Structure 1
Amino acid sequence: MKYTKATNYALHIMAYFVKQEGKDNLSLQPIASHLNISPTYLSKILTQLVKADLIQSAPGVNGGYSLRKPKTEISFYDVIQAIEGSGALFTCEMEENHGCQIEKVMKAAEEKMVSHLKEKHIYDVV
């Protein structure tokens, strides 16, 4: 299993926000410079994080981005879901009379992983 580069960046972006909490709204360019991400790509990731209600954006001269949720409540799962979506990692493509046994094993493994990611918060590693 492999997550996209956007998920990697999103987790690091959220860690940066957690570290910076309490400061004024963070602007796009300083975030991009600090994390060495192109501003265009960063903007796309930030848009997804805003849509997931993890961060908020404020327009204007003093605008920028800030955490929407309390930093202690943002789980790894929240961030991953914001970028990757909530679809199953494995779907059986074979037609079987009694259900796909392989899919059952994969689904159980995915449920354990999701549970683990929901328990781990970005704040815990910052």
Structure 2
Amino acid sequence: MKYSKATNYALHTMLFLAALSPDKLIGVQQLAERQSVSPTYLSKILTKLVKADMIESTSGANGGYRLKRNWEQISFLDIIHAIEGTASLFDCSLNHGPECLIQQVVVEAETKMEEHLRNQTIADLAKKITQVL
């Protein structure tokens, strides 16, 4: 299983915003340079995070992105769902339905993984980073 690069960039962007300046506007250019990614590509990712109500954007010369209120509650799973969607990672190609034993095993594993990701917040990681700094 592999998440897309967009998810990787979204997670790193959210952590960067939380650790260094949760209330400060940061431009897409600075965010893109931090991750060595195209600002155009990152803008598309940021748009998904805005639509998911995790960050807000302000346009203009002094515009940029910042975390929304209650950002401390945002989990890894929230961010992953904002980028990847909420569809199951496994879909039985033989259309056995819920009685498929293979699908049951994979869905159970996915449920446990989602539970773990739901319990990991960006705020928790941001605290660890600020303790190191």
TM-score, structure 1 as length reference: 0.91
Take 1:106 and 1:98, find their aligned partners in 2: how far apart are those partners?
A: 11
Q: Percent identity?
A: 49
RMSD of Structure 2 on Structure 1 (CA): 1.6
Q: Which runs of 5+ in 2 are unaligned?
A: 127-133
Number of residue pairs matched by the alignment: 125
Q: Note the C-alpha offset of 1:31.
A: 1.3
1:111 aligns with 2:87: no
Q: Note the C-alpha offset of 1:66.
A: 1.0
How do 1:38-49 residues align onto structure 2 when only pairs under 5 Å count? 38-49=38-49
Per-residue deviation, residues 61-114 of structure 1 (Å, max 9, x unmatched): 332111114232110001100110000000112144882111111111111111
Residue 53 of structure 1 contacts residue 69 of structure 1 at CA under 8 Å; is this kept in 2?
no
Structure 2 vs 1, CA of residues 97 and 30 (structure 1 numbering), >3 Å: closer, same or farther? closer
**Misfit runs of 4+, over 6 Å:** none
Match of 1:60 in 2: 60
Take 1:97 and 1:107, find their aligned partners in 2: how far apart are those partners?
A: 12
Letter of the 1:123 counterpart? A
Structure 2 vs 1, CA of residues 67 and 97 (structure 1 numbering), >3 Å: closer, same or farther? closer
Match of 1:22 in 2: 23
1:120 aligns with 2:120: yes
Letter of the 1:53 counterpart? D
Per-residue deviation, residues 42-73 of structure 1 (Å, max 9, x unmatched): 11110111111111111223321111142321
Structure 2 vs 1, CA of residues 101 and 16 (structure 1 numbering), >3 Å: closer, same or farther? same
Residue 49 of structure 2 contacts residue 83 of structure 2 at CA under 8 Å; is this kept in 1?
yes
Structure 2 vs 1, CA of residues 95 and 4 (structure 1 numbering), >3 Å: closer, same or farther? closer
Residue 27 of structure 1 contacts residue 64 of structure 1 at CA under 8 Å; is this kept in 2?
yes
TM-score, structure 2 as length reference: 0.86
